[in-house]
Amino acid sequence: MVCARGIRVVRRELEILGLRVLDVRLGAATVAGTAESLDWPRIRQALTTAGFALLEDPAHQRVARIKQAVTTLLRRPDTLRHRDFMPALALETGLSVRRLHACFARLPGHDSLLSYITRQRVTYAQELLATSRSGIGRIARQLGYGSLAHFSGQFRRFAQCSPSAYRQQLETAAASTAPNDASHGLFDAKPEAASPV
């Protein structure tokens, strides 16, 4: 944006999209929220309609592509063991393993690639623990862990509890919020009086 009018137009277009605009200046707009939470196609369309182009950072685009590939690989029906994950990720993204690590290393304040992958594994494990009745060992194998101890250790490091404790917390929370059928008048808890014969 070169002029005050351009800055006003960009601010207005972003606010119309419901974004809280923190700053707009030459070539950049700062909005509240994370890059992952933004609806980029809508932003791109709104700016294009107003006569502006969205200039995207190629490094951020590469990292977004890598993150998407991590999610895709973790959720594949065929299990990828830990040692096979990085080569598969390199193949999926078309980048060397060294380049994958370098993309993450250049971003300020971000996890390393390995830490990101582990965090995504644990997040997926939490989802599986909440939505399936599979045993913890089976979930560990599904996520590519060679041992239950390794899985439990990484889960504990990121989730601050063991997988079994996490599942128990979910079950306890679900039980405490389940309606009590007797309290809703669905059942008469009083015994019927005996009728005279």
How many angstroms separate the CA atoms of 85 and 99, rounded?
15
pLDDT of residue 128: 93
pLDDT of residue 54: 75
Q: Domain boundaries in the chain?
A: 4-56, 59-173
Q: Is 142 in contact with 79 (CB distance < 8 Å)?
A: yes
Q: Which residues of the chain have pLDDT under 50?
A: 1-2, 183-195, 197
List Cβ<8 Å contacts ≥24 apart for 150-153.
Answer: 151/125
For residue 61, what are the contacts with CB-CB under 8 A and spacing of at least 6?
A: none
How many angstroms separate the CA atoms of 43 and 63, rounded?
19
Q: Is 73 in contact with 88 (CB distance < 8 Å)?
A: yes
pLDDT of residue 195: 47
Q: Evaluate if pTM is beyond 0.85.
A: no
**What backbone phi and psi angles, to 5 degrees, belong to 194?**
-70, 135
pLDDT of residue 181: 53
Chain segment 84-94, per-residue pLDDT in tens: 899 999 999 99
pLDDT of residue 179: 63
Tokens of residue 100, six digits: 């994958």
How many angstroms separate the CA atoms of 96 and 193, rounded?
80
- Domain over 59-173 is classified CATH 1.10.10.60: yes
